[in-house]
């Protein structure tokens, strides 16, 4: 994202380690979250519009405001089509399903057309599933998919009052690069920014501390 002159800029962070293999696939394998609950995570399909609409309907007004940075009462047919007709290259989306088959979370990246090795991310978790580590798991898997498609940097625009998302992004190596009013912009490098960060990241990945914090 471009600096519009009204934002402060910060230095780059270390980012997520290149080559890290996720502990779950994106083909529907069951993932156990930190509270013991189970979800199946897979790539979003064009037939998932109803699942997405149901998940949106179960978001609280606050969750909707924090996700869309404004009032959002419903998703239009065109928006549902856009959010589910993804090419899995420039636009990827991973959905989490509960044991009863309902959508409980989604994470997506959209490649920056002007900077094709970067992508903007968004993660949405249904309220009753927040705080279980699902957002972190989705971000982990989304990062794997992004690296496979040649993306080396994520940007994330977060509402300043969205404390949980800010914590998740920071624990994933995100660094604040811009601030404007009630909106913060972070970047996450998917490859080490400096070689000396690599050993530290490997230690944290080995003991699980990177992903157990959220």
What are the boundaries of each domain within the chain?
A: 27-212
The confidence score (pLDDT) of residue 181 equals 85
**Tens of pLDDT, residues 67-79:** 888 889 999 999 9
The confidence score (pLDDT) of residue 33 equals 95
- Which listed CATH number (2.40.50.140, 3.90.105.20, 3.30.230.10, 3.40.630.30) goes with 27-212? 3.40.630.30
What whole-number distance in Å separates Cα of residue 64 and Cα of residue 202?
35
What whole-number distance in Å separates Cα of residue 136 and Cα of residue 192?
19
Low-confidence ranges of the chain (pLDDT < 50): 1-25, 194-203, 209-214
Long-range contacts of 172-175 (CB under 8 A, 24+ apart): 172/16, 172/136, 172/139, 172/143, 172/210, 173/13, 173/14, 173/15, 173/16, 174/13, 175/10, 175/11, 175/12, 175/13
| The two three-digit tokens of residue 136, written as one number | 């972190």
**Tens of pLDDT, residues 122-142:** 999 999 999 999 999 999 999
Half-sphere exposure of 161 (CA within 13 A, CB side): 11
pTM, rounded to two decimals: 0.77
What whole-number distance in Å separates Cα of residue 167 and Cα of residue 214?
8
Longest dimension (CA), the chain: 48
């Amino acid at each position: 994202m471009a600096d519009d002159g009204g934002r402060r800029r910060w230095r780059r962070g270390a980012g997520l380690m290149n080559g890290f293999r996720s502990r779950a696939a994106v083909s529907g394998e069951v993932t156990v979250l930190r509270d013991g609950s189970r979800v199946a995570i897979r790539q979003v399909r064009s037939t998932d519009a109803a699942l997405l609409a149901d998940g949106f309907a179960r978001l609280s007004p606050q969750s909707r405001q924090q996700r869309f940075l404004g009032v959002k009462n419903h998703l239009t047919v065109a928006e549902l089509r856009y959010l589910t007709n993804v090419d899995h290259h420039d636009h990827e989306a991973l959905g989490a399903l509960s044991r009863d088959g309902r959508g409980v979370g989604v994470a997506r990246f959209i490649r920056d057309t002007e900077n094709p090795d970067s992508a903007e991310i968004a993660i949405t978790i249904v309220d009753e599933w927040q705080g279980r580590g699902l957002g972190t798991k989705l971000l982990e898997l989304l990062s794997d998919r992004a690296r496979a498609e040649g993306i080396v940097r994520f940007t994330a625009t977060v509402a300043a009052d969205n404390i949980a998302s800010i914590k998740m992004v920071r624990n994933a190596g995100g660094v604040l690069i811009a601030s404007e009013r009630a909106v913060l912009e972070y970047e996450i490098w998917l490859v080490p920014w400096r070689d000396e960060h690599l050993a530290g990241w490997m230690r944290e990945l080995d003991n699980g501390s990177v992903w157990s914090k959220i």
